[in-house]
């Protein structure tokens, strides 16, 4: 130590990673005092440095402080609105903010928001190594540690199942018709959901590989042993028709069931009353449908929902329609009749109607005209020269 | 005296991780390495830390790794089998014993010597708590290598090698990442029978490498080549077992030394 201190000048040439305090002191004593000059950095250099730093990182203390401020702010807001601070939910917060800061901006994301910091600041991975800078995870140096660790675990399970198969074969108890996991009514996680689960970005090929490996696991005879593990990566599919709101059946003074529904198409608005135990009469705006719609196509539109559920002669239809042209009026009436039929029909039929497209409102509207063109699509005459 | 200056120069210029390589390379300095001074030890137990780190360097086979394998074990694990004559790499010719029915046979005496050196170096790196990275791009043994790495508390990379993992580390991972101090290639070729990019990158970043080189591999840039078979499951399992035992032994020895010296320092 003393020997190296005395060689202060020569040691200036060597670059130590860890410099002892004593050594530094000896250097400052031996080396000349150079004038320190403030180097003025121009704005363009600042901009370059900012770009190289990457996305902004938030420390844990900062996020904690933000959470505390949010909680206090929530209580203040509840007091301001005269509500109970203990039972003030996020919906109440949104309503209060919309009331206190009314905004005419079209873009919903540009309006004032007050949300929990976890939803505003993006999730970041914590520091990946310990005090000696040794990484925690054994696959850290691959770059995608969570994804490859998951693949490693799945493969481990496949090997375990193969060993189990061999054991059963040895005992003579091997059966290839053991129960398979039912995959009906669920789907694999989508790539975005996988990325959220792993807190990492994965490519399309990685995702495909993962799905292939899981399919391989499930195709093995004793694959049902790992059912719990597999279900973690599957989501239940909701039956779409359960989201449909079916109005309950109404009964008039004579005890005859009827239902009322509305429908729209372009700018045509229709309203329908469907009465049970009728004989198939259709009245629109007070006139018979044969008189109102002289075109066969429009009358077919009216009959399509009833024909689909085989109830053509059962109902009496009373309807009023206004706006747009004959075709749109026909479409609006069709939607209204389908919606009215929902109360008379079973769950399975509702799903069939939904898949046939009877319950979907047609979103097509007239496309706007653009400047520099004759119409929406038609261009002015093109001249070569 | 010259050896003492050599060790000090090597420690100052290249940092502690290459000291082992330099010392092991210069076999005549092994016995006279006691004069080295480590600049970064804490002030209170400088002497104890120095002794713990430098004592193993005074003996040729401190971890007694020659007991781990014999040439008969290597033969039984089919380590001597190379590829066909047509696949032979020019630079592997010194390591070949001969060729029988067009199949190249590696010289197990040379293999044993190289393996002993490689295991000794691994043990010293593990003793000094260095970061060891296992690389093997063979899909058959990917799971085995990853399991081995996990069981000895080190790291593995048996997947697609992204370009800048070593050379562009602060950007690929985060700033302040620590690179591996030793890279062990259980197969130096990648899936298209080209030399693995990691060999060249490790050489660029001054990271010592150990590599199992088969008769169709290029042993040039590898610090401690080990001529041996990288295709048979028996041979791969043997290498994994040997490296795992070496690393575990070295770590246990380190813990033992710290306990002993800690007791003697406090007493």
pLDDT tens digits, one per residue of B196-213: 999 999 999 999 999 999
Q: How far is the C-alpha of A358 from the C-alpha of B235, rounded, in Å? A: 67
Instruction: Please answer whether residues A293 and A321 qualify as being in contact, where contact means their C-beta atoms are separated by less than 8 angstroms.
Output: no
Q: How far is the C-alpha of A74 from the C-alpha of A86, rounded, in Å? A: 10
Q: How many CB pairs under 8 A join A and B?
A: 60
Residue B150: list chain A partners with CB under 8 A.
Answer: 138
Residue B157: list chain A partners with CB under 8 A.
Answer: 139, 141-142
pLDDT at B32 over 50: no
Interface confidence: ipTM more than 0.90? no
Nearest to A141 among B12, B39, B133 (CB): B133
3-state SS, residue B209:
strand
The residue among B100, B122, B95 whose CA lies nearest residue B111 is B95
Nearest Cα of chain B lies from the Cα of A343 at a distance, in angstroms, of 58
Contact B39 A18 (CB under 8 A): yes
Interface test mutation site (partner B, options A13, A15, A141, max chain B beta carbons within 10 A):
A141
A-facing residues of B in 123-182 (CB < 8 A) are 129, 131, 133, 143, 146, 149-150, 153-157, 159, 162, 165, 172-174, 176-178, 180
* CB contact burial A284-310 (16+ within 10 A = b; e otherwise): beeeebeebbeeeebbebbeebbebbe
Instruction: Please answer whether residues B134 and B184 qualify as being in contact, where contact means their C-beta atoms are separated by less than 8 angstroms.
Output: yes
Q: Which two tokens stand for residue A217?
A: 């696991």
Place of tokens 């949010």: A70
Q: What pLDDT was estimated at residue B176?
A: 83
Classify strands A250-251 and B182-187 as parallel, antiparallel or unpaired: unpaired
Q: Which residues of A have a CB under 8 Å from any CB of B? A: 1, 4, 14, 16-18, 20, 127-129, 132-135, 138-144, 148, 152, 155-156, 159
Nearest to A138 among B37, B155, B174 (CB): B155
pTM: 0.69
Identify how many contiguous H helices and E strands chain B contains and give both numbers. 9, 8
Classify strands B103-106 and B96-100 as parallel, antiparallel or unpaired: antiparallel
Residues B9-24 have a mean pLDDT of 45
Cα separations in angstroms, B171 against A52, A122, A218: 10, 19, 38
Could you list the pLDDT tens digit for every one of the 385 residues in chain A? 444 444 544 444 444 444 444 444 444 455 466 666 666 666 655 555 555 555 667 788 889 999 999 999 999 999 999 989 999 999 999 999 999 999 999 998 999 999 999 888 877 767 788 888 899 999 999 989 999 999 999 999 999 999 999 999 999 888 777 777 888 888 999 999 999 888 889 999 999 999 999 999 998 888 888 888 999 999 888 777 677 788 888 888 888 889 999 999 999 999 999 998 888 899 999 999 999 999 999 999 999 999 999 988 889 999 999 988 999 999 999 999 999 999 888 888 888 999 999 999 999 999 999 999 999 999 999 999 9
Place of tokens 């069931």: A257
For residue B81, which phi and psi values (nearest 5 degrees)?
-80, 125
In B113-256, beta strands by DSSP E: 132-136, 155-157, 182-187, 209-213, 224-227
Instruction: Please answer whether residues B216 and B93 qualify as being in contact, where contact means their C-beta atoms are separated by less than 8 angstroms.
Output: no
More confident residue, B35 or B253: B253
Cα separations in angstroms, B113 against A98, B95, B96, B106: 78, 11, 14, 13
Counted residue by residue, chain A has a size of 385
The residue among A66, A67, A89, A65 whose CA lies nearest residue A77 is A89
Interface test mutation site (partner A, options B38, B146, B233, max chain A beta carbons within 10 A):
B146
For A321-342, what is each residue's pLDDT tens digit?
Answer: 998 899 999 999 999 999 999 9
Q: Which two tokens stand for residue A308?
A: 């689909």
Nearest to A143 among B40, B146, B165 (CB): B165
Residues B67-88 have a mean pLDDT of 95
Share of residues in chain A with pLDDT > 90 (%): 56
């Amino acid at each position: 130590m003393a020997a190296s201190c005395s060689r202060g000048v020569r040691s200036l040439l060597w670059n130590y990673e860890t410099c002892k305090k004593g050594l530094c002191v000896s250097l400052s004593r031996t080396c000349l005092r150079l004038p320190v000059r403030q180097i003025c950095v121009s704005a363009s250099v600042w901009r370059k440095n900012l770009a190289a730093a990457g996305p902004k990182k938030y420390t844990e203390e900062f996020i904690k402080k933000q959470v505390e401020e949010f909680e206090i702010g929530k209580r203040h807001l509840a007091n301001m609105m005269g509500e109970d601070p203990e039972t003030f939910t996020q919906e109440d917060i949104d309503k209060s903010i919309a009331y206190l800061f009314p905004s005419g901006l079209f873009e919903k994301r540009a309006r004032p928001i007050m949300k929990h910091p976890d939803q505003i600041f993006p999730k970041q991975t914590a520091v990946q190594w310990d005090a000696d800078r040794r990484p925690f995870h054994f696959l850290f140096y691959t770059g995608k540690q969570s994804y490859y660790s998951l693949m490693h675990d799945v493969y481990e399970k496949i090997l375990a199942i193969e060993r189990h198969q061999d054991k059963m074969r040895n005992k003579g108890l091997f059966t290839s018709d053991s129960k398979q996991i039912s995959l009906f009514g669920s789907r694999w996680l989508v790539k975005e959901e996988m990325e959220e689960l792993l807190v990492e970005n994965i490519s399309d090929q990685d995702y495909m590989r993962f799905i292939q490996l899981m399919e391989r696991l499930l195709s093995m005879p004793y694959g049902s042993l790992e059912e719990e593990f597999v279900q973690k990566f599957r989501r239940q599919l909701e039956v779409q028709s359960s989201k449909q709101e079916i109005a309950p059946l109404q009964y008039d003074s004579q005890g005859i069931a009827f239902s009322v529904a509305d429908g729209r198409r372009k700018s045509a608005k229709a309203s329908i009353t469907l009465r049970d135990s009728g004989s198939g009469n259709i009245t629109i705006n007070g006139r018979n449908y044969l008189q109102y719609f002289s075109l066969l196509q429009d009358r077919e539109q009216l009959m399509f929902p009833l024909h689909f559920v085989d109830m053509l002669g059962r109902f009496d239809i009373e309807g009023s329609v206004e706006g747009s042209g004959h075709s749109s009026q026909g479409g609006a009436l069709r939607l209204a009749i389908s919606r009215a039929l929902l109360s008379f029909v079973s769950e399975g039929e509702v799903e069939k109607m939904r898949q046939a497209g009877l319950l979907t409102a047609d979103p097509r509207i007239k496309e706007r005209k653009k400047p520099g063109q004759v119409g929406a699509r038609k261009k002015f005459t093109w001249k070569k020269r | 005296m010259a050896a003492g200056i050599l060790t000090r120069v090597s420690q100052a210029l290249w940092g502690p991780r290459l000291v082992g390589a330099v010392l092991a390379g210069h076999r005549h300095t092994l016995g006279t390495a006691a004069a080295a001074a480590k600049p970064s030890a804490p002030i209170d137990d400088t002497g104890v830390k120095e002794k713990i780190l430098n004592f193993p360097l005074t003996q040729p086979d401190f971890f007694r790794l020659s007991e781990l394998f014999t040439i008969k074990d290597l033969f039984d694990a089919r380590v001597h089998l190379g590829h066909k004559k047509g696949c032979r790499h020019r630079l592997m010719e010194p390591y070949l014993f001969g060729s029988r029915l067009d199949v190249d046979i590696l010289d197990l005496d040379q293999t044993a010597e190289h393996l002993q050196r490689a295991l000794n170096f691994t043990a010293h790196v593990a003793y000094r708590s260095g970061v060891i990275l296992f690389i093997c791009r063979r899909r058959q043994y990917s799971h085995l290598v990853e399991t081995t790495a996990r069981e000895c508390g080190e790291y593995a990379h048996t997947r697609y090698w992204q370009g800048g993992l070593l050379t562009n580390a602060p950007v690929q991972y985060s700033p302040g990442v620590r690179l591996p101090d030793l890279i062990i290639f259980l197969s130096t070729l990648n899936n298209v029978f080209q030399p693995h990019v990691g060999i060249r990158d490790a050489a660029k970043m001054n990271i010592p490498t150990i590599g199992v080189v088969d008769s169709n591999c290029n042993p040039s840039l590898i610090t401690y080549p080990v001529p041996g078979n990288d295709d048979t499951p028996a041979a791969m399992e043997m290498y994994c077992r040997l490296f795992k035992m070496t690393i575990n032994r070295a770590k246990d020895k380190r813990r033992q030394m710290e306990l002993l010296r800690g007791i003697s320092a406090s007493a």
